[in-house]
Structure 1
């Protein structure tokens, strides 16, 4: 069951045991979610090898089979402590711990919602299962009070109401925290109304219990919550804030509210974190906008579904955000297809490109993250016409980019942020005026001393590298 505290307990155990394993420790979080991304298995393998051996050794991993062999060799010769958090497939576990026996004294901790994944003959070492239990009433009440009152116990006039609310959460720590945070500072009438809502939700329907807190957010905060659930989980907050501010979502206040409600966390590396149950809830909310027609949903994060709605000829006024990560080949998106997405504000496009004249397209875009499979002068129209309101772009162009001299004359006049990995040749674009730019993240480059790129940088007053 999600929300019962598996990851929290795993972190406590991991932190207590690391002393016995030296540097041979690795905690791989949110495996189920990570494996949904392109090269997710390889990235997790690299992190494990980097944690236990070194980053240089991990860089040599080119595919998951090679990664599995390397991990098997290391775990067979070193005493290690590894946590695989939220695993849901035995074959993914094999990819992450190799196919050899572990070194004596090693410990692999696996958290999962599906206890059957460790059954069978695939694993050679001893397996000791432990089933998480729901919280008892006393610790659940204390956890609730810490979030609702900022102390271990309730106020006298809220004592019985607090106990009844905690009972309605069925001892699930995530629900206890979210509901407690929701009720902080609210009057007794709001508490009683919340108690009725909780009692009307079946015990097994945890997402409906969590949705009570979502429904109390204002419209802007709901937009930010859904964006994080669909696209920005485990992404740095700075990038998204530029887009939300431009859209009038008041992101500083919104992020504070979401954090105080225990709906998100900001990690030490400034990335958003969200519990997988809350991610599921957010995506379920988007699905319920139009269960049978993806073109009437506000956000589409699955490449196959995104491509399907782009290729249909109907206008899609509801679509605000798209992510297309085409792993099986490149994709071309035409101007006519984008004309049917008049309210698109976020686009993440991997292994694809845009062609033809985009004069009338994408005027609402605030964010582009683009990793083209190929690019040529046909893409000039895309950038020259669609970026008047763009606030953030992450661009990793191919070798053919930047060869249409001068086409940037009317581009990006309000762009605030660029993250750019330049091609392996000189920059030749002219007349790129970025008067509003405040952040320019420039990757490894091969610009010559007289390159136009240095003129682009010099006109800006605030540059962060």
Structure 2
């Protein structure tokens, strides 16, 4: 008679199996991704490299490339894990522990193991291990020592940029002749940054060229140029669903500006984001 514990072990083994690995979403239109992935993979496979550091400015496609690599090679390993937004999620000891637990559980299936750090030197890992890191800070990768290969993500060339912009502006259809001048203007401002091209292409979709130009004049904010500046300074990002999000430093600055509106009286502030503050305002009837 088969014991309950034995059956439970089989269930857990199957649930943690790589057969159940859902591929990561890479990009709606992964223009230029395959070429860059092949370049990095050839480097990984031709050398005994434990770590590959992918660096470049925000919006250049680091995460997109890393996800594509992950999808290509994850089924070669007995265990694998994908952790994102580590910087934002490691602000406290509790959040670091949570990341550790997630990493170890996804790789080993053990919720109880603990480690001191998420990542150490290359000698921390067994032969055949692969760690992919994305960062805006090239110097950070230099601290990892030998065994870490670096790859700088380059901007899209003009043909790739036009293709990506057209995909978002026309959803796969050919760009109309009267849109070409605007498209080339957008490409010029974007300077090969995929994020900027996606934002501008998505904004143009479904609009006439005249509507687009009225929008620009009415706003008087020069969005093509302004968006590029925000991207250059790593202040905005774009999700897979074209949702804009801001850098954590901008968020902190905005919260500090609101806090200065009223240092003592929470009810006089224009916005509240902490659960405890909202509760206090409601209970004390400060609105």
Cα contact 1:142–1:153 (8 A) shared by 2:
no
Q: Which residue of 2 aligns with 1:263?
A: 243
Tell whether 2:193 aligns with 1:168.
Answer: no
Q: Which has the higher contact order (CA 8 A, sep 6+)?
A: 2
Structure 1 residue matching 2:172: 3-state secondary structure: coil
Q: Which runs of 5+ in 1 are unaligned?
A: 69-94, 212-228, 230-257, 265-277, 298-308, 325-332, 343-357, 364-465
Q: After TM superposition, give the deviation of residue 15 of structure 1 in Å.
A: 0.8
Which whole-Å CA distance do the structure 1 matches of 2:82 and 2:61 have between them?
A: 16
Tell whether 2:178 aligns with 1:157.
Answer: yes
- Residue-by-residue CA offset, 1:371-391 (whole Å, 9 max, x unaligned): xxxxxxxxxxxxxxxxxxxxx
Q: Which residue of 2 aligns with 1:396?
A: none
- What is the RMSD of the two structures over their aligned residues, measured on CA atoms? 3.6
Q: Which residue of 1 aligns with 2:136?
A: 113
Q: Which runs of 5+ in 2 are unaligned?
A: 1-56
* TM, length-normalised to structure 1: 0.42
Q: Which residue of 1 aligns with 2:115?
A: 67
Q: Which of 292, 309, 320 is equivalent to 2:272?
A: 320
Tell whether 2:83 aligns with 1:28.
Answer: yes
Which whole-Å CA distance do the structure 2 matches of 1:130 and 1:207 have between them?
A: 19
5 Å-filtered alignment, 1:407-418, equals none
Tell whether 2:208 aligns with 1:187.
Answer: yes
* TM, length-normalised to structure 2: 0.65
Which whole-Å CA distance do the structure 1 matches of 2:246 and 2:224 have between them?
A: 23
Q: After TM superposition, give the deviation of residue 96 of structure 1 in Å.
A: 1.1
Change (3 A) 1:67 1:315: same
5 Å-filtered alignment, 1:362-381, equals none
Cα contact 1:24–1:51 (8 A) shared by 2:
yes
Q: Which residue of 2 aligns with 1:280?
A: 247
Q: Which residue of 1 aligns with 2:62?
A: 6
Q: Which residue of 1 aligns with 2:4?
A: none
Tell whether 2:231 aligns with 1:206.
Answer: yes
Q: After TM superposition, give the deviation of residue 200 of structure 1 in Å.
A: 4.8
Flag the structure with higher strand content. Answer: 1
Cα contact 1:175–1:210 (8 A) shared by 2:
no
Q: After TM superposition, give the deviation of residue 6 of structure 1 in Å.
A: 0.2
- Compare CA radii of gyration and give the structure with the larger one: 1
Which whole-Å CA distance do the structure 2 matches of 1:210 and 1:191 have between them?
A: 24
Flag the structure with higher helix content. Answer: 2
Change (3 A) 1:147 1:177: same
Which whole-Å CA distance do the structure 2 matches of 1:19 and 1:50 have between them?
A: 17
Structure 2 residue matching 1:111: 3-state secondary structure: strand
Cα contact 1:102–1:125 (8 A) shared by 2:
no
Cα contact 1:169–1:175 (8 A) shared by 2:
yes
Structure 1 residue matching 2:148: 3-state secondary structure: coil
Cα contact 2:100–2:115 (8 A) shared by 1:
yes
